[in-house]
Amino acid sequence: MPHTTSAIFGTMRSEVKIIELSARQQRIIAIVRDRGTVTGEHIAEELSLTRATLRSDLAILTMAGILDARPRVGYFYVGDQASNFGCEMIGKYLVKDYKSVPVVVQEHTTVYDAIVTMFLEDVGTLFVVREQGILIGVASRKDLLKVAIGQSDLHEVPISLAMTRMPNITTITLDASMYDAAKKLIETQVDSLPVVKPGPDQAVEVVGRVTKTTITRLFVELGSARTV
């Protein structure tokens, strides 16, 4: 990420301090980034500064994790690690390792039975499948409530009339990161994503689910791992 005017210092756990970078510090970053590795003398020369003047800037930039110094080699650019840290970290956690078991029903299941399944399985979203777990729809609590407040007989209406259908379903794959899954949940404003793998004839097979709860659980797991 390019630096503009600020750098983030991680200080104590949970405390993050943002400092403004001076124009000179930004020029130093630009020199080091362009050159690969460069000595303090070279930077001082290029900016017509004394080594003493430069020293405090280099100290700040190395403490911020923007530059690093190798003895007898010089300074090199490592980037804004503090702000990249969260992104890199969460990108390592994969859907295949955190997904939960999907709760599925067949397309001819009645809305009444679907509601019962939601209660029994304690889920807010059902995935509707045909043979071999091929995904054909998603039914949320509100989809079922809509039918329930209408005049229809819940024992007669099949869930296929209440669900959102393929191809209008946002899915996630096993190798995607939990960050990708969280982003999709937020962007599409839904509670649950079917985890899928390729099935026959461009269809997809449901092999799991990632919900807002799955993301929250991972978040808590990461938080508690830091305190032990």
Q: Would you tell me which residues interact with ligand ADP (CB under 6 A)? A: 124-125, 138-143, 164, 168-170, 188, 190-193
C-alpha span between 151 and 180 (Å, rounded): 40
The least distance separating ligand ADP from the CB of residue 91, rounded to whole angstroms, comes to 21
For residue 147, give the nearest of 102, 119, 110 by alpha carbon: 110
The least distance separating ligand ADP from the CB of residue 176, rounded to whole angstroms, comes to 13
Contact 28, 58 (CB under 8 A): yes
Eight-state DSSP code of residue 22: P
The least distance separating ligand ADP from the CB of residue 111, rounded to whole angstroms, comes to 13
| 3-state SS class at 138 | strand
- List the beta bridge partners of residue 205: 134, 197
Pairing state of beta strands 67-70 and 74-77?
antiparallel
The least distance separating ligand ADP from the CB of residue 52, rounded to whole angstroms, comes to 60
Complex with ligand ADP: residue 124 or 158, whichever CB lies closer: 124
Complex with ligand ADP: residue 54 or 193, whichever CB lies closer: 193
Complex with ligand ADP: residue 44 or 95, whichever CB lies closer: 95
Complex with ligand ADP: residue 54 or 114, whichever CB lies closer: 114
Contact 57, 28 (CB under 8 A): yes
Eight-state DSSP code of residue 76: E
Using alpha carbons only, give the angle 88, 92, 93 rounded to the nearest 5 degrees. 130
**Two structure tokens written together for 77:** 């650019």
Complex with ligand ADP: residue 75 or 127, whichever CB lies closer: 127
The least distance separating ligand ADP from the CB of residue 222, rounded to whole angstroms, comes to 24
